[in-house]
Amino acid sequence: MLIVKDESMPTEPTIEYPTRWGFKIIGRSADELHACIKEVMGEKEHFCSYGNTTSKGNYHSYNASCIVESKEERDRIFRLFSEHEHVKVVI
């Protein structure tokens, strides 16, 4: 399916807050990623589940989600994950 954007389409999707937002965090150590999620989320209620391991076992992923109250909060959490020393990629 091909979608052609025209001037009537918004440049960003409309997201209504509060909403549940998910983050996929990828790094070399499953234990360090799990600790990172606890550190970044702090006292905030969240869900966390192990994702995958690469075929050679070099990288691991976790899925974390929480209710975000605003775009600013969502971006702040994303930034904290992406700047963490044990995180290689955040999606």
How many Cβ atoms are within 10 Å of 6's Cβ, its own excluded? 5
Q: How many domains does the chain have?
A: 1
Q: Does residue 75 lie within any of the structural domains? A: yes
Domain that holds residue 39: 19-90
Q: Does residue 2 lie within any of the structural domains? A: no
24 in Cβ contact with 61 (< 8 Å): yes
CATH code of residue 57: 3.30.70.260
Q: Does residue 10 lie within any of the structural domains? A: no
pLDDT at 59: 97
The total number of residues written for the chain in this structure: 91
Tens of pLDDT along 48-84?
Answer: 999 999 999 999 999 999 999 999 999 999 999 999 9
pLDDT at 11: 74
pTM score of the predicted model: 0.85
Closest CA to 51 of 89, 12, 13: 89
SS3 37: helix
Q: Does residue 12 lie within any of the structural domains? A: no
Q: Does residue 84 lie within any of the structural domains? A: yes
Q: Does residue 9 lie within any of the structural domains? A: no
Tens of pLDDT along 10-49?
Answer: 677 889 999 999 999 999 999 999 999 999 999 999 999 9
pLDDT at 1: 56
Q: Which residues pair with 66 in a beta bridge?
A: 21, 46
Q: Which residues pair with 61 in a beta bridge?
A: 26
